[in-house]
């Protein structure tokens, strides 16, 4: 029998070490350079082993800082994994997560949000909520709506402070739109948790977060929602499948 590829052997060795408690929750693993020197492997081999462990949810990486072991990585259901490829996938977040409203839908001035939605003035309607999976909070989201989109749902109890439901905002607003939601333009960056995010997902202020901005537009090309989400990397895996075009 042919031996397993070197990256698989290293991946299994690191998995065994984490499972045995050699690296506790949040402990930094050896760097790529250290593992290259210790095992006599190529950097590409070490990087592939780390990539597999990240995909499995066994470790998480903080850019510029290192790779860290994850608490309870081998317990089923510890980390929330989403594979997204369509608007319908985004709407299905209500299937297995809970939305808890922290600040109900309210009128406010927000120059940045209004500009990104191409509004004529600075007025938007904003709702702030967090999502939980198996009772564990993993993201804080701030959703901004134009007044015309917000008006039909202003009285919805699901969007009032303290409300807990299995809804999505796009699922609540779409029945009231003249044209269906057809597109979500998405950007992904890294940002630090502010006080509101830290309190919502139970992490330290300035903790590195995965920031996902989504600008939803209807079939006429008109923006109808801007959602800005801060995901806790320890609790969330975002997966996208890319296919070669024919």
Question: At which residue do the structure tokens 């890319």 appear?
Answer: 242
Provide the CB-side half-sphere exposure for 139 (13 A, CA). 25
| Comparison of pLDDT for 83 and 139, the residue scoring more | 139
pLDDT surpasses 70 at 72 = no
**Residue range(s) defining the domain that contains residue 30:** 6-69
Same domain, 44 and 114: no
pLDDT surpasses 60 at 75 = no
The answer to whether residue 97 sits within a structural domain is yes
Give residue-wise pLDDT tens across range 172-217.
999 999 999 999 999 999 999 999 999 999 999 999 999 999 999 9
Same domain, 94 and 211: yes
Using CA atoms, how far apart are residues 79 and 86, in angstroms rounded to an integer? 22
Note the pLDDT of residue 79: 57
Q: At 91, is the pLDDT very low, low, confident or very high (cuts 50, 70, 90)?
A: low
CB 191 within 8 A of CB 152: no
Encoded tokens for 73: 């990585």
Same domain, 181 and 124: yes
DSSP string covering 53-97, please? HHHHTSEEEETTTEEEE-TTTTSTT-SEEEE--SHHHHHGGGGT-
Note the pLDDT of residue 24: 83
Note the pLDDT of residue 76: 42
Mean pLDDT, residues 91-114 taken together: 87
How many domains are contained in the chain? 2
pLDDT surpasses 50 at 169 = yes
CB 104 within 8 A of CB 159: yes
Least confident of 2-11, 51-60, 75-84, 113-122: 75-84
What percent of the chain clears pLDDT 70, i.e. is strictly above it?
84
| Comparison of pLDDT for 13 and 134, the residue scoring more | 13
Mean pLDDT, the chain, rounded, equals 86
Q: Which of 32, 50, 69 is the last residue of a domain?
A: 69
pLDDT surpasses 60 at 20 = yes
Q: Which of the 8 DSSP states describes residue 160?
A: S
Q: Which of 47, 69, 91 is the last residue of a domain?
A: 69
Same domain, 109 and 86: yes
| pTM of the predicted model as reported, rounded to 2 decimal places | 0.67
- Looking up residue 40, the CATH number of its domain turns out to be 1.10.10.10
Give residue-wise pLDDT tens across range 217-240.
999 999 999 999 999 987 777 766
DSSP string covering 80-149, please? EEEE--SHHHHHGGGGT-EEEEEEEEEEEE-HHHHHHTT-SSSEEEEEEEEEEETTEEEEEEEEEE-HHH
């Amino acid at each position: 029998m042919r031996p397993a590829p070197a990256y698989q052997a290293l991946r299994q060795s690191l998995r065994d070490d984490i499972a045995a408690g050699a690296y506790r929750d949040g402990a930094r693993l050896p760097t790529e350079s250290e593992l290259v020197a210790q095992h006599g492997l190529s950097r590409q081999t070490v990087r592939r082993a780390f990539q597999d462990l990240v995909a499995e949810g066994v470790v998480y990486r903080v850019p510029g800082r290192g790779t860290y072991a994850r608490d309870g990585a081998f317990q089923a259901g510890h980390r929330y994994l989403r594979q997204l490829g369509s608007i319908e996938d985004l709407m299905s977040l209500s299937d297995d997560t809970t939305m808890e409203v922290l600040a109900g839908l309210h009128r406010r001035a927000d120059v940045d949000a209004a500009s990104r939605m191409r509004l004529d003035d600075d007025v938007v309607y904003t709702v702030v909520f967090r999502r939980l999976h198996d009772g564990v909070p993993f993201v804080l989201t701030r959703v901004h709506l134009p007044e015309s989109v917000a008006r039909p749902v202003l009285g919805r109890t699901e969007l009032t402070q303290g409300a807990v439901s299995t809804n999505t905002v796009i699922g609540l607003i779409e029945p009231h739109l003249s044209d269906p939601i057809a597109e979500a333009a998405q950007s992904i960056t890294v940002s630090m948790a502010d006080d509101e995010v830290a309190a919502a997902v139970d992490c330290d202020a300035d903790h590195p977060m995965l920031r996902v901005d989504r600008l939803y537009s209807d079939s006429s090309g008109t923006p109808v929602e801007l959602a800005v989400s801060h995901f806790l990397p320890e609790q969330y895996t975002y997966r996208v499948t890319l296919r070669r075009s024919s």
